[in-house]
Amino acid sequence: MSRGSTEQPSTADGPRQTGRATLRDVAKLAGVSIATASKALNNQPQVRAETRTRVLQAAEQLSFSPNTLAQGLITQRSGTVGLLTSDLEGRFSIPILMGAEDAFGSDQTSVFLCDARGDNLRERHHLRALLSRRVDGLIVVGARPDARPSLGRDLPVPVIYAYSPSDDPADLSLVTDNVGGGRMAVDHLIRHGRRRIAHITGDPSYGAAQDRARGALDRLAEEGLPLAGDQVWFGAWSEAWGRGATRMLLQRDPDIDAIFAGSDEIARGVLDVLHQEKLAVPTQVAVIGFDNWNILAVNARPPLTTIDMNLEALGRLAAQRLFAAIDGTLGSGVETVAPRLITRESTAPLD
């Protein structure tokens, strides 16, 4: 192997093969017992200052790094969690992972990321592997924001479902508040003086599509405003549908002054057609998206105001709940995380 450790730690029995110093090496070098070395390194009080520095120096010199596996064997805690995802692109799982990393602290807990690729068998495999690695907990991230099958009730570690809730109400699930997000989007448009607001969104079989629409309609109703375009335009989560729906919408109702798109992809399609029809954004028509998918939102023309699902916050929360559950009880039901508005240039006050 092309590595050259200069410090080959050795025992009385001869040089070590592994290339990694153990606590015994440190103790030997410092001239103390293993127990003392351990105490010194874990800064326990009952150790003389002079001894401690001697041990610390020895450890430094051997670039000693404690074997977490051995520690875990004793403490019954591996300091790892598994993130089991089905989200091929990592679009949702990565922010969640980062949030979790943040909350755990990278030196405390490491995260195994496993992608089941929508395959149930592969999920079972990964699950088994993670359990045998003695993860302290599990975060499950589904492929879409709808209920997914529970992993089951009698797992030996706490499990949290993030983004996609579990279909078993006894499990704890953390999801974005899609109703609130829809409401937030429309509220933003209303505050900007828009009155003729339409809504184009994706596949109606997605709970998220229904929820966002509901939030939008609720807010509209509060204001006594009708939905422009006479209906929620359900379709597909694609730019193509965004384009098609916008064309139909404009035909039916040419003087809308705002469109709430159920995703940034759809919003891109909307912008495209608006552009083509020479309708100025945001002056004539304001557009707001959903997801804050950077590559789409920032590059849009104009850059897209959108609703961010706050997945990092969701990841942080998952980590906190997991952490609390490790020596307490885990709740159940569905907990909701508030999304947040990202203002860019595709919306602006009327006038």
d(CA 254, CA 228): 10
> Site residues for a second copy, window 76-95 (CB under 8 A)?
76, 78-80, 83, 88-91, 93-94
Closest approach, Cβ 272 to a second copy, in A, equals 8
Nearer to DNA, 28 or 212 (CB): 28
What is the length of the chain? 351
Closest approach, Cβ 218 to a second copy, in A, equals 30
Nearer to DNA, 74 or 121 (CB): 74
Of 29, 47, 58, 198, the residue at the interface with DNA (CB under 7 A) is 47
Q: Are 169 and 115 in contact (CB under 8 A)?
A: no
Closest approach, Cβ 25 to DNA, in A, equals 8
Cross-strand pairs, 162: 141, 174
Nearer to a second copy, 1 or 12 (CB): 1
> Site residues for DNA, window 61-80 (CB under 7 A)?
64-67, 70-71, 73-76
Nearer to a second copy, 207 or 303 (CB): 303
d(CA 287, CA 327): 47
Of 49, 153, 224, 254, the residue at the interface with a second copy (CB under 8 A) is 153
Instruction: State both tokens at 342.
Output: 């990202």
122 binds a second copy per the rule CB under 8 A: yes
> Site residues for DNA, window 27-46 (CB under 7 A)?
32-36, 38-39, 41-42, 45-46
Closest approach, Cβ 66 to DNA, in A, equals 4
- Out of DNA, a second copy, none, what residue 331 binds, judged by CB under 5 to 8 A for its kind, is a second copy
Closest approach, Cβ 286 to DNA, in A, equals 58
| Region binding DNA by CB under 7 A among candidate stretches 49-57, 77-85, 148-156, 341-349 | 49-57
Could you please report the per-residue DSSP string of 114-136?
Answer: EE-TT-HHHHHHHHHHHHHTT-S
Instruction: State both tokens at 172.
Output: 């704890």
Please tell me whether residue 147 adopts helix, strand or coil conformation.
coil
Q: Are 91 and 144 in contact (CB under 8 A)?
A: no
Instruction: State both tokens at 22.
Output: 């153990």
Closest approach, Cβ 221 to a second copy, in A, equals 33
Q: Are strands 340-342 and 333-337 parallel, antiparallel or unpaired?
A: unpaired
106 binds a second copy per the rule CB under 8 A: yes
Q: Give the closest residue to 281 by CA, choosing from 192, 191, 181.
A: 192
- Compute the Cα dihedral for 13, 16, 21, 23 and give only its sign: negative
Q: Are 325 and 262 in contact (CB under 8 A)?
A: no
With CB under 7 A, what is the number of residues at the site for DNA? 31
- Out of DNA, a second copy, none, what residue 43 binds, judged by CB under 5 to 8 A for its kind, is none
Containing 187, the helix (H) or strand (E) segment is: helix 178-191
- Which residue type does 167 have? D
291 binds a second copy per the rule CB under 8 A: no
The residue with tokens 């809504």 is 199
- Out of DNA, a second copy, none, what residue 86 binds, judged by CB under 5 to 8 A for its kind, is none
155 binds a second copy per the rule CB under 8 A: yes
The residue with tokens 């974005």 is 176
